[in-house]
Chain A
Amino acid sequence: EAAVTQSPRNKVTVTGGNVTLSCRQTNSHNYMYWYRQDTGHGLRLIHYSYGAGNLQIGDVPDGYKATRTTQEDFFLLLELASPSQTSLYFCASSRTGGARAEQFFGPGTRLTVL
Chain B
Amino acid sequence: QQQVKQSPQSLIVQKGGISIINCAYENTAFDYFPWYQQFPGKGPALLIAIRPDVSEKKEGRFTISFNKSAKQFSLHIMDSQPGDSATYFCAASSSGGSYIPTFGRGTSLIVHP
Do these two chains really belong together in a complex?
Answer: no
